[in-house]
Chain A
Amino acid sequence: AQSVAQPEDQVNVAEGNPLTVKCTYSVSGNPYLFWYVQYPNRGLQFLLKYITGDNLVKGSYGFEAEFNKSQTSFHLKKPSALVSDSALYFCAVRDTGRRALTFGSGTRLQVQP
């Protein structure tokens, strides 16, 4: 079965500094990977996805993610963090067996002014 792991429950970063939120995956076959963001008491918002092609994927709000097949990772990055980026971030993988996403446990990003 497909799975994703987000090893950090929380990431703290100062405003203006680069940020990285980590995600590793386990799949049989081609990986289809996604990142979502959730603000308090709201649904999730789609940020970006990797299906095929360039290993660096650009998404919404200045976020990007780097796909690394050898390390089975799909880390979310942003060059300069904003306080408004503070939220809960989820990595997800599409389950080839059942055509639905399996989500990680989430990483809370806290950007300090």
Chain B
Amino acid sequence: DGGITQSPKYLFRKEGQNVTLSCEQNLNHDAMYWYRQDPGQGLRLIYYSQIVNDFQKGDIAEGYSVSREKKESFPLTVTSAQKNPTAFYLCASSVADLDGYTFGSGTRLTVV
């Protein structure tokens, strides 16, 4: 079945650590996106990529980094510079930006 897979489902980070969240899709979608979800704030855009080897910053890119070396993969690294990383992270993909997004099931990141 085609879909978008995020791993791990739960992730714990110690202070000062970098962690990487995985996002893989087998839908042959060109565009991929990372959003952060906090209670009462909806989804905020971190990074997005419309094509391989190209990506753009969203509204809250500080403290995060991404790569898009393959069409299927769009990993997100949460660096130690992100001071408040505890949140639910959602990855999405779409054929084109006017199509509906397909979302992964999310990764819940907690700082311990």
Contact = CB atoms under 8 A, between A and B. Distances in A.
Contact of B42 (A34, A41, A103): A103
Q: Dominant SS at the B interface? A: strand
Contact of A46 (B90, B97, B100): B100
Interface residues of A, number: 23
A89 to B, nearest CB: 11
A105 interface: yes
Interface size bracket, B side: 20 to 34
Contacts of B79: none
Contact of B98 (A44, A94, A103, A106): A94
Interface string B1-43: 0001010000000000000000000000001010100001111
A42 B106 contact: yes
A51 B98 contact: yes
B48 A100 contact: yes
Given A41-B105, A46-B100, 6 more contacts: A36-B103, A41-B106, A43-B6, A99-B48, A103-B35, A103-B43
Interface of A: 9, 32, 34, 36, 41-46, 49, 51, 90, 94, 98-106
Interface of B: 4, 6, 31, 33, 35, 40-45, 48, 50, 56, 58, 90, 92, 97-98, 100-106, 108
